Amino acid sequence: MYQPTEFQRHDTASQPQESQDRSAARQFLASLYYPKAPVFHAFDLADRGYLYDLSSGAVLSLTSEAATLLKAAEAGEVDGLEDSELDEAGEALEELQLIRELGFLALPDEESRPTVPQTTEALLDHSSKSTQILVQTSCNLKCSYCYEVKNGFHGTGKRMPADMGRAIVDFAFQRARKRGVVDINFFGGEPLLNFELVRELVDYAEKLGVEHRKHLSFRMTTNAVLMTPEIADFLVEKRFGVMVSLDGDPSKADSNRKDHSGRGTSRKALDGAKLLRDRQRVAGLREVTARATLFGENSDRQNVLDFLHGEGFRRVMVGSAGDLEADPAELPASEPDPVEGVEGKGLTALRAVLGMKDPEERMRHVHERGLSPTLNHVRERLQMADVAPSISCGVGRNTLAATEHGDLYPCHRYVGQKEYVVGSVEDGIDRPKLAAYYGTLLSGYESHCRKCWARILCGGQCAWERSGDSGDITGPSPKYCDGVRSSMEAMLALYTESQPSLLS
Ligand code: SF4
Ligand code: SF4
């Protein structure tokens, strides 16, 4: 039977024993209610209860009785528990008491938590390793889900002049300050439309690297349609990290991925990506990451994964484009995303994996369904401290994007949305403008995400997805948040079932 603490006995001394016990139990559970910033999340899935403890990053298995009590505590609904439920909950209450005594369910140290202005200053003073250079703000393709088409800069056909490219590389070195590495990410449009400039800027950056004693790393995001043996050799020689947009089986993917004449391009893209991948494999380098976008007729995640794995791609990321017209918040981010590939049908598949009793079979399906990167992402995020206010990505810092005019945008997704220009290569960062941008994002985090149990795992919705065309930045979309929280419950359960229970 649950024994109330001395403090709780004092409050209930004049009541009959049974009533004292209930009252103490209610007090204990009510003391776990943290409406401003939840410190835990209790849930059940596939007939098992779980507790995710934010400060320790632990995920514990719970009895379903304990999970029921903790869910009521988390929701501030202890008064709604029936007396009979509490009378029968002695062991579950002891379980929770023990968990508390072990140091879980603890209040965070609010005193040392940075404020929004302090965090804004820290972000502004950050020395950034990476800069995105948009060497060509047009593309050889016209994909039906492309955000660049929506932004209106897709068809502008602008090539970055060489002197602007060099000025941006200079700027990238200045931004890195004392950092030992400068990372340059070639982006578009389609960067291979201006490959000569890529080559020239790599050469220029290497000279600066020697001068300033800095290491260099290069990255590129491309559709690979224009890949040639010469380009592939260059990318291998310079050890580029490459992400290629590949949507899978051409018979389906071509419904979205056409060139300007309306011809499908998926086969050419696959051939181009393989050309590079095979050379990377021989050189022992990290192979291209295939980034697939689910959209329209090509929305079957498992088919896309099976096809790309069948074509020999080992590194595959799948995301959903959703319905562009219905909800821009559905657009995929280019960076790894905690919900990537596990919303909608993906979530159903994830729950099916979770329901598998045989651990080996479960893990085989985790690999086959491409869930390992998301599981690893969850594992990493669990180890992070709750130091919000937070922004989920390097926006305005390591994703700063420079265009052919020298405009600086917080990331490539903003390019073409003039309200979000945060400086220029010539004049540097517009500090008040970037401070105002960060301040709005962080305040949104404080008013929305701070109350959310998934805040450490999620970090907040993509800033661009929260940004309206006229410069207004809103809180996260409820639809997005529901998807993240459902996915995270499934991922946490899967994570827990993949390793020995801490309490068993
Ligand atoms: S974006 Fe939504 S799910 Fe993510 S932390 Fe914020 S409120 Fe939670
Ligand atoms: S704002 Fe969104 S698209 Fe831009 S870097 Fe961050 S996650 Fe990616």
**pLDDT of res. 19:** 78
- 413 CA → ligand 2 middle, Å: 7
**pLDDT of res. 357:** 76
What residues line ligand 1, using a CB cutoff of 6 Å? 448-449, 452, 454-455, 458, 460-461, 476, 481, 484-485
- 394 CA → ligand 2 middle, Å: 7
Whose CA is closest to atom 6 on ligand 1?
A: 449
- 445 CA → ligand 1 middle, Å: 8
Give the other-Cβ count within 10 Å of 67's Cβ. Answer: 22
**pLDDT of res. 149:** 65
What residues of the chain score a pLDDT lower than 70?
1-16, 148-157, 321-349, 370, 499-504
- 439: preceding bond cis by omega (within 30 degrees): no
The radius of gyration of the chain's CA atoms, rounded to the nearest angstrom, is 26
Q: What is the pLDDT of residues 351-403, one digit of tens each?
A: 777 778 787 888 887 777 767 777 788 888 888 888 778 898 999 999 999 99
- 376 CA → ligand 1 middle, Å: 19
- 385 CA → ligand 1 middle, Å: 16
Whose CA is closest to atom 7 on ligand 1?
A: 449
The CATH number of 117-468 is which of 3.30.300.30, 3.10.20.30, 3.20.20.70, 3.40.50.720? Answer: 3.20.20.70
**pLDDT of res. 369:** 72
**pLDDT of res. 151:** 63
Q: Considering the entire predicted model, what is its pTM?
A: 0.85
Kindly state the tokens that stand for 308: 């790309």
CA 60 – CA 46 distance, rounded (Å): 15
**pLDDT of res. 291:** 93
Give the other-Cβ count within 10 Å of 360's Cβ. Answer: 8
H/E element holding 215?
strand 215-222
**pLDDT of res. 239:** 98
H/E element holding 30?
helix 17-30
Dihedral, CA of residue 250, residue 255, residue 257 and residue 261, to nearest 10: 110
354 touches ligand 2 (CB under 6 Å): no
| Residues linked to residue 48 through DSSP beta bridges, in sequence order | 45
Q: Which of 148, 335, 461 to mutate to test the pocket of ligand 2 (most atoms within 8 A of CB)?
A: 335
User: Domain spans of the chain?
Assistant: 6-111, 117-468
